[in-house]
Amino acid sequence: MSTTLFRAALNAGLEIVERSPHSYRVSYYEQGGYQPGLDATVYYPTTDLKIKNNTSTNILITATSMPDEYTLVFEIYGASDGRTIQLSTPVISGQVPPPPPLYQDDPTLAAGMVKQVDWEAWGAKSVFDYTVTRGEEVLIRQTFTSKFQPWQAVYLKGPAG
């Protein structure tokens, strides 16, 4: 949910006061043409996503859940003040391959059966710029950095037959 709200706030031109990236790349956040780094995480009580309404009027944030489609939509409503947003394409660097897969014995699986329970992810650094302007005035200029750790695939395997 935090990534979805973060992206909605960026698209609305709101100020991001506090944002923490995930520690590891999450493959479904990179679907639909998104590059790594356009994510946010919340972990109570230490990690939060804080957004500031830096407009001159109230805003309304709605959330619509569509469980059958595995979809959550945030919509942000407010009066237009002429602002435009610009997101740079994330620059990806320092890519690190995932460690070798980990195989763990699982006596609950049938003999010889292998079941994948976690998927590999490359480590990397991702940086993108976020700029909000109104006419010639720059309202917001922020750079967001994510440092993703590599992650190994994990498999459970049944006892040898």
In this predicted model, what pLDDT tens digit does every residue of 96-153 receive, in sequence order? Answer: 999 999 999 999 999 989 999 999 999 999 999 999 999 999 999 999 999 999 999 9
Binned at pLDDT 50, 70 and 90, residue 161 comes out as: low
3-state DSSP assignment of residue 65:
strand
Q: How far apart are CA 23 and CA 102, in angstroms?
A: 19
Q: Is the pLDDT of residue 13 over 90?
A: yes
- Residue 44 lies in domain: 2-157
Indicate the SS3 state at residue 37.
coil
Percent of the chain's residues with pLDDT above 90: 78
**Identity of the residue numbered 153:** A
Longest pairwise C-alpha distance within the chain: 71
What is the total count of domains within the chain?
1
Residues 6+ apart with CB under 8 A from 42: 1, 2, 20, 48, 49
Sheet strands (E) in 47-136: 50-52, 60-66, 71-77, 83-87, 91-96, 102-105, 114-118, 123-134
